[in-house]
Amino acid sequence: MTIKAVRGVHDILPDASSTWQRLEATARRVFEAYGYREIRLPIFERTELFARGIGEVTDIVQKEMYTFDDRTGESLTLRPEATASLLRAYIEHGLYVQPKPVRLYTMGPMFRYERPQAGRYRQFHQLNVEALGEDHAGVDAEVLAMLVELFRALGLADRLELQLNTLGDAACRPRYRERLVEYLRRHAASLCEECRDRTERNPLRVLDCKKSQCASVLEGAPSLLASLCRECDEHFARVRAHLEAMTLAFVVNPRLVRGFDYYVRTTFELTTRELGAQNAVAGGGRYDGLVELLGGPPDAGIGFAIGMERVVLLLAADASTDARPLALLIPLGAEAFARLLPVAQAVRARGVAVDLAYGERKLRSELERANKLGAAYAVIVGETELARGEATVREMKSGEQRAVPLSELASELGVLGGRA
Ligand code: AMP
């Protein structure tokens, strides 16, 4: 029996890597232009960090974490998201003494025990961005602009919609929550089972239910936007005005709530119509108060997470460039191999990809291999060439051949590979 990968976990194969690398490189370039610096975080943490940082009553903490005891009996969890770890590091290393906002990004795998389906995995990857220690609405607008800029740079901006909402804060949300619970209880009979359960545990999440049965109840539900306190209302108005000043398109979706307890005020998602039910490509929001909850100073915070698999799915239609070698070096025999070995090394040291055959097969089968590899040139060295101190450089497409002195071969291939 062969051993297969675990359900919901996938390999990123070589044909897909160039798309992943393009996404990572573009993200680094865009984030760094906005002043963000990379932080690399561990993949597992103490379980209580997530219980406290994400919220005990969330689906993630209650049902989706990969939690295990290590050999000393300490409870550890594979991270289901990055914000809690990032804030732990921010507090632990005193990064809050730096000029605010402290701008950080990170990328890597996350783990959630969810039901796998297209676009949803148990190990998946996120790009995470956090701006800490500043509650000005200008930070919200800047973070959103950067998110949109990344997708513009990837050529995907037209295929995505930015949805924006505000969740109020500790001053106005509890009052709203009470009114909502009262309304949902009155209509409990018309709600789906999950929403009846959520009414008591996590009522705001009911607003997010996609079932048509609940949608009709929700049409008449009290509106959070109408219940905001003055400060939250003004903050939201300023964020929208800043976005408009940058001509950034968005839609206000008053039913947008997210799976974490910690969000206040600005929340957002970037959605697509192209990935079926898994339509969220990125999501985030403001979480003032969370740093303090985790034992740090009373610093504000805002951030987002991008689901990298979903971005790669959107990019997949693009033809990605694969890594073809410039040339296949074909020695005929052991002596020719020994002569070409240092040439291959010198060309590779210039950053030009070449492949070297081992000298044991017939010229014809090596030329076929050069074709399969997509090499632009074959460089042949047999007995005749060795005797003359030359190599035959054959252009694969035209079949044209010319002789190049072996002593000049490395620099000639460097020139052909654009690295003179
Ligand atoms: P969240 O951390 O839940 O706010 O998710 C942020 C983004 O990560 C989502 O918008 C998705 O693009 C992506 N994501 C979340 N869960 C999964 C999953 N199980 N598989 C793949 N992508 C996911």
Average the pLDDT over 331-342 and give the result.
97
pLDDT > 90: percent of the chain: 83
What pLDDT shows up at residue 371?
Answer: 96
Structure tokens at 68: 């295990």
Does residue 323 surpass a pLDDT of 80?
no
Please give the Cα distance from 394 to 401 (Å, whole number).
Answer: 4
Does residue 319 surpass a pLDDT of 60?
no
Residue 307 alpha carbon to ligand 1 centre in Å: 5
Domain 324-415 listed as CATH 3.40.30.10: no
Domain ranges of the chain: 14-172+228-314, 324-415
Query: Whole-model pTM?
Result: 0.89
Class of domain 14-172+228-314: alpha beta
Residue 173 alpha carbon to ligand 1 centre in Å: 25
> Which residue, by CA, sits nearest to atom 18 of ligand 1?
120
Average the pLDDT over 142-157 and give the result.
97
| Closest by Cα among 60, 298, 57, 296 to 170 | 298
Cβ(88)–Cβ(96) below 8 Å: no
Which atom of ligand 1 is found nearest the CA of 112? 19
| Percent helix, percent strand, percent coil in the chain, to nearest 5 | 45, 20, 35
Pairing of strands 123-132, 251-252: unpaired
> From edge to edge, which strands make up the β-sheet containing 66-69?
44-46, 75-78, 66-69
Residue 392 alpha carbon to ligand 1 centre in Å: 54
Q: What is the pLDDT of residues 13-28, one digit of tens each?
A: 988 998 999 999 999 9
Which single residue is written with the structure tokens 């076929």? 368
> Which residue, by CA, sits nearest to atom 17 of ligand 1?
120
Q: What is the pLDDT of residues 62-112, one digit of tens each?
A: 899 999 999 999 999 999 999 999 999 999 999 999 999 999 999 999 999
- Lowest-pLDDT choice from 26-30, 270-274, 371-375, 406-410: 270-274
Residue 6 alpha carbon to ligand 1 centre in Å: 19
> Which residue, by CA, sits nearest to atom 4 of ligand 1?
283
Pairing of strands 327-331, 354-356: parallel
Report the chain's mean pLDDT, rounded to a whole number.
94
Kind plus residue range of the DSSP H or E element containing 142? helix 137-153
What pLDDT shows up at residue 322?
Answer: 63
Q: How many CB atoms lie within 10 A of CB 33?
A: 11
Cβ(168)–Cβ(227) below 8 Å: yes
What are the pocket residues of ligand 1 if the criterion is a CB atom closer than 6 Å to any ligand atom? 81, 112, 114, 120-121, 124, 126, 258-259, 280-283, 305, 307, 309-310
- Lowest-pLDDT choice from 124-128, 142-146, 207-211, 312-316: 207-211
